[in-house]
């Protein structure tokens, strides 16, 4: 083995100095981690649905972050479609880059009202996609979902107090012209897992989602989409969860209101639409986190990010 002496080290230093003199600087190896941090990453805004909060996205946010995406999670008020859409656009306006907005369940109705300049595209994860003057309740009833059927044994409906000074009239009228009540809907805790998360293998986790569910106001379900929805013009992707009991893919009867119906309606109106399927329940983001994250990545690419 060659012995490294002090003279050898000095010679190496001298050689570097000569190189610096001829090129003007010593070339240093680049730091790939630093370079990666300096790049502008695609931005994703995840919008949860009814009976849930941002934790319903499961491992999806972490998978996306590990893939280099900037991820924000909305905390939707669930107190009225118009207010929830206004909240979304405020968040979207504050995003630093063009953003893919992803909605689950009722969150699909929320993202349908996206108007911000930062909107790059939409992605629906087994979600409602109302058309102009259409409500989530109408789609839910047409599709055979349980949310809008107040006599369904899995649903619990109870009144809630309006903010001080807010008149009941502010909630508006439903599609039949009736005053929307100050009431909220939740799923019976003992019925939650079987209908919302039947394929979440960790039953303790499913029960935690049931216990921590956030009720949704009747106003969120009954208020109609004001104006043309964003899915008619923005690049859009739709993921159908094939085992969803809350938004059944096939709907009922003529299929109107089912997730496949909504996905195909978007595609018929907008050539910049793609549709995918995945096995999974309504909480597909938890039971099939990898599938959903990969769908979102492809959706971001479809939106030009």
pLDDT at position 40: 64
pLDDT tens, 12-29?
Answer: 444 444 444 444 443 433
**CA distances in angstroms from 55 to 7, 52, 79, 301, listed in the order given:** 62, 8, 19, 25
Confidence at 147, pLDDT banded by 50, 70, 90: confident
Q: Which residues pair with 119 in a beta bridge?
A: 99
Confidence at 148, pLDDT banded by 50, 70, 90: low
- What average pLDDT does range 214-218 have in this prediction? 94
**More confidently predicted of 6 and 97:** 97
259: pLDDT strictly greater than 70 = yes
Residue 111 · residue 88 · CB < 8 Å: yes
Q: Rounded to two decimals, what is the model's pTM?
A: 0.85
**CA distances in angstroms from 160 to 117, 183, 217, 219, listed in the order given:** 35, 5, 9, 12
**More confidently predicted of 37 and 198:** 198
Residue 221 · residue 139 · CB < 8 Å: no
pLDDT at position 252: 77
Residue 266 · residue 273 · CB < 8 Å: yes
The alpha helices in 24-133, defined as continuous H runs, are 32-38, 60-66, 81-94, 106-111
Confidence at 189, pLDDT banded by 50, 70, 90: very high
Instruction: Please state, rounded to an integer, the average pLDDT across all residues of the chain.
Output: 87
Residues in the chain: 305
Q: In what order do the strands lie in the sheet with 216-217?
A: 155-159, 183-187, 216-217
User: If residue 103 lies in a helix (H) or strand (E), which one and from where to where?
Assistant: strand 99-105
Residue 93 · residue 118 · CB < 8 Å: yes
Residue ranges covered by each domain of the chain: 40-302
Confidence at 150, pLDDT banded by 50, 70, 90: low
pLDDT at position 187: 93
Burial state string for 193-224 with b = 16 or more CB within 10 A and e = fewer than 16: bebbbbbbeeeebbbebbeebbbbbbbbbbbb
Neighbours of 38 (CB within 10 A): 8
**C-alpha Rg value of the chain to the nearest Å:** 25
pLDDT tens, 85-136?
Answer: 999 999 999 999 999 999 999 999 999 999 999 999 999 999 999 999 999 9
**CA distances in angstroms from 150 to 52, 95, 116, listed in the order given:** 19, 38, 35
What does the alpha-carbon distance between residue 100 and residue 104 come to, in Å, rounded to a whole number?
13
Q: Specify the CATH number of the domain 40-302.
A: 3.40.50.1820
């Amino acid at each position: 083995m060659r012995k490294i002496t002090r003279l050898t080290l000095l010679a190496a230093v001298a050689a570097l100095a000569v190189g610096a003199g001829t090129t003007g600087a010593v070339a240093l190896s680049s730091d790939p981690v630093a370079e990666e941090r300096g790049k502008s990453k695609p931005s994703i805004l995840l919008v949860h649905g009814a009976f849930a909060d941002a934790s319903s996205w499961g491992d999806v946010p972490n998978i996306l972050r590990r893939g280099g995406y900037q991820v924000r999670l909305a905390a939707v008020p669930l107190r009225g479609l118009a207010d929830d859409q206004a909240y979304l656009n405020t968040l979207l306006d504050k995003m630093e880059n063009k953003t893919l907005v992803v909605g689950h369940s009722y969150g699909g109705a929320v993202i349908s009202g996206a108007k911000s300049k930062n909107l790059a595209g939409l992605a629906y994860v087994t979600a409602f996609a109302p058309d102009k003057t259409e409500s989530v309740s109408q789609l839910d009833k047409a599709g055979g979902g349980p949310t809008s059927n107040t006599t369904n044994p899995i649903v619990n409906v109870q009144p809630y107090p309006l903010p001080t000074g807010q008149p009941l009239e502010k909630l508006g009228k439903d599609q039949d012209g009736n005053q929307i009540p100050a009431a909220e809907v939740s799923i019976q805790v003992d019925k939650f897992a079987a209908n919302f998360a039947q394929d979440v293998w960790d039953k303790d986790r499913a029960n935690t989602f049931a216990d921590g569910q956030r009720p949704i106001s009747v106003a969120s379900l009954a208020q109609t989409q004001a104006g043309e929805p964003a899915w008619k013009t923005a690049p859009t992707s739709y993921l159908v969860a094939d085992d969803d009991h809350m938004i059944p893919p096939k709907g009922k009867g003529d299929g109107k209101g089912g997730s496949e119906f909504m996905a195909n309606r978007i595609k018929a109106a907008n050539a910049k639409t793609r549709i995918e399927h995945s096995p999974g329940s309504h909480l597909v983001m938890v039971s099939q986190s990898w599938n959903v994250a990969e769908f979102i990545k492809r959706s971001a690419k479809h939106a030009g990010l």
